[in-house]
């Protein structure tokens, strides 16, 4: 199979599949290395298809033009990460990403795409298995999340609960 044919098939898989696709699974499907798939995805992105990498694999984001999207600033320790994320998803919101401001590199953004408790449990399990530090460790716990939800009422409930738990960054800056 030519590389163009493979990329056409990969593009078709992304368009027809709503679940994340793992790079290794695509490599096995097309009998190539994962690095070849990474290159193919870069070319497909350059051709205009929006593909994002998440901890669960590559996805094409769904057009959620009817949903409300907001960036919130939060601050907490590593020990409160799971509770903070659970506070958001329990209201049916999606946590799209985590963003930190690095003094040298500027904005660093990692896609999360945590939509429900299953996604959250999977993320926390990977986080613990890798013995990783959160991105927010380079900013003393301060970070941003882009969250999507159905309406302003849900967003207000999320913000209210995050505030009560002391996770909102602006609430901590009132000294």
Same structural domain, 54 and 129:
no
Same structural domain, 12 and 73:
no
Q: Residue 34 is part of a domain; what is its CATH number? A: 1.10.10.10
Count the domains in the chain. Answer: 2
Q: Residue 83 is part of a domain; what is its CATH number? A: 3.30.1340.20
The Cα 129–Cα 32 span in angstroms is: 28
What 8-state DSSP symbol labels residue 21? B
pLDDT digits (tens, 9 = 90+) for 44-80: 998 888 898 888 889 887 766 678 999 999 999 999 9
Mean of the pLDDT values across residues 110-126? 93
The Cα 74–Cα 84 span in angstroms is: 9
Same structural domain, 43 and 113:
no
Among 21, 36, 59, the domain-final residue is: 59
Expressed as residue numbers, the domain containing 88 is 68-172
Among 33, 59, 85, the domain-final residue is: 59
Same structural domain, 79 and 127:
yes
Which of 32-36, 46-50, 164-168 has the weakest average pLDDT?
46-50
Same structural domain, 80 and 148:
yes
HEC string for 67-88: CEEEEEEEECCHHHHHHHHHHH
Q: Which two tokens stand for residue 97?
A: 């990403």
What 8-state DSSP symbol labels residue 35? H
pLDDT for residue 173 is more than 50: no
Residue 113: is it exposed, middle or buried by C-beta count within 10 angstroms (0-12/13-18/19+)? buried
Same structural domain, 88 and 168:
yes
Same structural domain, 36 and 91:
no
Comparing CA positions, the residue from 48, 61, 49, 50 lying closest to residue 20 is 61
Among 41, 59, 77, the domain-final residue is: 59
């Amino acid at each position: 199979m030519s590389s163009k044919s493979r990329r056409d098939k990969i593009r078709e898989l992304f368009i027809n599949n709503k679940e994340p696709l793992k790079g290794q699974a695509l490599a096995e499907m097309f009998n190539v290395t994962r690095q070849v798939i990474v290159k193919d995805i870069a070319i497909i992105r350059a051709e205009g298809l929006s593909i994002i990498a998440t901890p669960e694999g590559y996805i094409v984001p769904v057009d959620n033009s009817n949903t409300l999207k907001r960036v919130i600033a939060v601050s907490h320790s590593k020990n409160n990460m799971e509770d903070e994320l659970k506070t958001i998803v329990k209201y049916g919101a999606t946590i799209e990403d985590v963003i930190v401001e690095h003094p040298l590199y500027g904005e660093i953004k990692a896609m999360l795409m945590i939509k429900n408790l299953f996604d959250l449990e999977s993320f926390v399990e990977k986080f613990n298995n890798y013995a990783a530090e959160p991105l927010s460790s380079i900013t003393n716990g301060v970070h941003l999340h882009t969250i999507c939800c159905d309406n302003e009422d849900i967003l207000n409930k999320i913000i209210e609960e995050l505030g009560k738990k002391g996770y909102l960054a602006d609430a901590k800056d009132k000294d």
